A = this chain, B = another copy of it.
Amino acid sequence: MTHDPSGEDSLIARYFKPLATDPGAFGLVDDAAIIPADGDDIVVKTDAIVEGVHYLPDDPPDTIARKALRVNLSDLAAKGAVPAGFVLTLALREKDEAWLAAFARGLGEDAAAFGCPLLGGDTVSTPGPVMISIAAWGRVPKGRMVHRFGADSGDRVMVTGTIGDATLGLRMLTGRAEAAALADDPAAREMLIGRYRVPQPRNALAAAVRDFASASMDVSDGLAGDLAKLCAASGVSADIELSHVPTSPAATRLLSSGATSWESLVSGGDDYEILCTVPAAQCEAFRAAANAADIAVTDIGAIVAGTNTPRFRDGQGRPITLRRLSFSHF
């Protein structure tokens, strides 16, 4: 009599046990895992991605795994935390071995690259879309997590990388007008699609955020909406120069030709960049630390007193009203 020869246990043993090399994971043969805590605070975070909502059904499975983990790594980075591990809930329609093998390979490569080991999980069947929920945790020295609150009048508003590429990448994949506008530049299209499928979490910046930022969060639902959240949590407002918001050459071209708008770029989701506020006196040190970590940071405006929604101005200083700030599920 054999036990569960082709069921979830063998699925886990085959695809995920090889990833669970951290001693706290006990090779996934136990019912729970251990995080040794040595006086640090443990920062915890959960984010889920759903087929057809956060990724497309025919996205390569390794990129789906990478995105599921990276959206959580991005939060840890913005909080100033060093990744310590994650657990995975995988809701699958059927057992597709080729899909699972590629998914597990991508997950394992990213877990190793970011130093964030798989510590456990749950695999369940669902008749509905595939869903991947990850809970991840990291460590910060006691009391040092960087919050959404803490931004103060006069602080500079800084953002990593470029904004709007991922939302354009989704439009490339769904055949929108933006795709036609880049018909002559397949490399640009591929870059944008890559930004949608595989975010680049800024974990190398975590220590600088911890050392210099007064408030911080990651940009996942749109820069404008996420900045509004940071300001609301901090009891402040902000003045943002849209012309200073960093964009990739592909996004810049689409902006120039009118194929996209600032509103689309700053309200579109999936950037997974860090948005943080840095006191003016710390900006030079923050920039130096970012340079040392090889991560681009851009000053896009200032925190100001007040509780109104952040103001956005165009290159001529004129206020722009955004009708839509961010992506919302409901």
Contact = CB atoms under 8 A, between A and B. Distances in A.
B42 A7 contact: no
A50 B124 contact: yes
Interface in A111-133: 119-129, 131, 133
Interface residues of A, number: 83
Contacts of A119: 44
A57 to B, nearest CB: 12
Given A45-B87, A127-B128, A128-B129, A329 B39 contact: no
Contacts of A75: 31-32
A53 B3 contact: no
Question: So how many copies of this chain end up in the complex?
Answer: 2
Contact of A48 (B30, B133, B329, B330): B133
Interface stretch (A88-96, A190-198, A286-294): A88-96
Interface string A16-55: 0000000000100111111111111111111111101110
B131 A26 contact: no
A123 B329 contact: yes
A78 interface: yes
A288 B75 CA distance: 46
A30 B123 contact: no
Contact of A47 (B3, B33, B122): B122
Given A124-B53, A126-B128, A127-B129, A45 B29 contact: no
Interface stretch (A175-183, A202-210, A318-326): A318-326
A7 B330 contact: yes
A48 B124 contact: yes
DSSP majority for the A interface?
mixed
A255 interface: no
B89 A31 contact: no
A145 interface: yes
Contact of A131 (B11, B31, B126, B218): B126
A32 B43 contact: yes
A128 B48 CA distance: 14
Interface of A: 1, 3-4, 6-9, 11, 26, 29-50, 52-54, 75-76, 78-79, 81, 85, 87-89, 91-92, 94-95, 119-129, 131, 133, 135, 137-138, 142, 145, 147-149, 217-218, 225, 228-229, 232-233, 309, 321-322, 325-326, 328-330
